[in-house]
Structure 1
Amino acid sequence: MSSEHNLCMDEALLKEPANQLALKNKDGRCPSLLTVVGVVFLTFNSIMAVYRSNGDMGAISFVVFSYLDLVVLFYFLRQFERTPPESPRREHIKMVVWLLTTMLTAAFSYKVAEIMPLPVQVLVWAISSATVLGGFYAFFLYQEGTSKA
């Protein structure tokens, strides 16, 4: 590199503000207002659910697990959106997203089935299994543009 090129780069770095907003995305945009409101709403509701649980460790564990699962899921969905389609990292992120959604589906199915009679429990688990298997098929087995018709 020439010294003239280095000088231009140094000048460009000096012109950038020193304290950039940490929430900015890679492309320089801040999260949308709707995203911020959604995360605040999720956090507030989770805190209120823990507060109202009256020390029930099962309920607290469910709320904390669901909250953390959703936050990590949102993070990996954003990473998936930002990763170039040809990147091998994209397949790994897809697997993580599927696992997180599977865990969330199983947790909610367990809580719903817990209070239902046996025939409805079977139905709840059948629907959640179909959802998980359908997600697996859509994410990993289905190839767009390979129809046999």
Structure 2
Amino acid sequence: MDRANDTQWLPALGLAFLTYNSAAAVYRSIDEPWAVAFVVVAYVDLLLLFWCLRKFERCFEAGSAADRPRLKAAVWCLATLLTLMFSYKVAVIMPLPVAVMVWSMAATVCLGGFWALFLCEEPSSRSDTK
């Protein structure tokens, strides 16, 4: 039996889980517009990030380099937005020294992602070993 076919339902299950939890969070926070906006923006951001990552993977599979720079930029922007949104939510409830540490880690992750996506050289040939 092919293992790849056995796990094709996992992304759909993950998306269903994300959708259910987002809907439940919106329902619980319906009287708080900022909380609803946060959940909706985070949900849409994640959907767009997954979509862009899949397109980016297909660029590598097809050997197409035309869309890679735009997709890299989109992936970095979406991931950075998500990182900053959640860092803000955490930092607000923490004492100042911990909040500084949270923002420092968020900045490190965002800058590290920028470095990895834009400043590192891409390998000339991709070797997939399974």
**Do both share a fold (TM > 0.5)?**
yes
Cross-structure match for 1:48: 24
Structure 2 gaps of 5+ residues are 124-130
* 1:98 aligned onto 2:76: yes
> In the alignment, which of 62, 73, 92 is matched to residue 114 of structure 1?
92
Question: Which amino acid is the alignment partner of residue 89 of structure 1?
Answer: D
Cross-structure match for 1:124: 102
Give the ranges of 4+ consecutive aligned residues of structure 1 lying more than 6 Å apart after TM superposition. none
Deviates most, 42-51 or 87-96 = 87-96
Tell whether the 8 Å contact from 2:30 to 2:36 is kept in structure 1 after alignment.
no
CA offset digits 1:70-105 (Å, max 9, x no partner): 001000101001114441211110110000000000
1:1-149 alignment, distance < 5 Å? 32-83=8-59, 84-143=62-121
Shift of 1:54: 4.2
TM-score normalised to structure 2 length: 0.84
CA offset digits 1:48-78 (Å, max 9, x no partner): 0011114111110110000000001000101
TM-score normalised to structure 1 length: 0.73
* Larger helix percent: 2
Task: Give the secondary structure class of the aligned counterpart of 2:12.
Answer: helix
Give the number of equivalent residue pairs.
116
Instruction: Give distance in 1, aligned partners of 2:63 and 2:73.
Output: 15
Instruction: Give distance in 2, aligned partners of 1:95 and 1:69.
Output: 14
Instruction: Give distance in 1, aligned partners of 2:120 and 2:87.
Output: 25
Structure 1 gaps of 5+ residues are 1-28
